[in-house]
Amino acid sequence: MTRRSESKEMVLFSTPLLTRGESADEYASLRNALELDIRPKGIIEELYLADFVAIVWEIQRLRRCKANLINNAVRHALQNLLRSLMWSPERPYYDEADALAVEWYSSEQAKHKVSALLRRFHLDETAIVTEAIRESLPDLEAIDRMMASLESRRDKVLRCVADCRQSLAERMRQSSDRTLQSEDSLCLECTDREKAVVV
């Protein structure tokens, strides 16, 4: 690879800002896989590919964000759920519910206690995730809007590549037609000259 092509590669495919836990190698693998699939021709398609890779990476990041938002909300959701299920007018319950929510992560006994309590109200552990999603809805909706915008941009890039290739194909066809027509004209001129010489 020449220095010029290395420089072009760096400009077109410079690694975006990565968040903690994201890998430059994984980004490069995604780029290479998409490049093999799309097989860009020329600088314009290379630029489209660079944009496409960045958009796909961002969509993947937002999907992970959604899962992390829900997972981060689980303890608070469990706490709220336990406070609701353990409510009693006779005794304070907040401290016990909060302690059980914390212990649930590390104690099998606490897990069994929570499961039994949920079953008493005809619930299972999906109720915890449901509550976590409910608490996270405003943030999840914001992420969904961002993802929809990115998916629209992704689809637009694909259409641009298709249009670019269609335009190139059309130009190549027109160029081919002009070349063939000019060759036909030359052949006709040659034939006319040959006839004139014979006469």
DSSP 8-class letter at 89? S
145-156 mean pLDDT: 96
Coil, helix or strand at residue 148: helix
Per-residue confidence (pLDDT) for residue 4, from 0 to 100: 46
**pTM value > 0.75:** no
- Burial of 22 per CB tally in 10 Å (0-12, 13-18, 19+): middle
DSSP 8-class letter at 11? H
Please give the Cα distance from 76 to 130 (Å, whole number). 12
Determine contact, residues 27/16, Cβ cutoff 8 Å: yes
**How many beta carbons lie within 10 A of that of residue 77, not counting itself?**
22
For residue range 28-68, what is the model confidence (pLDDT) as tens digits? 999 999 999 888 888 888 888 999 999 999 999 999 999 99
* For the chain, domain boundaries: 3-146
Per-residue confidence (pLDDT) for residue 196, from 0 to 100: 52
Average pLDDT score, the chain: 84
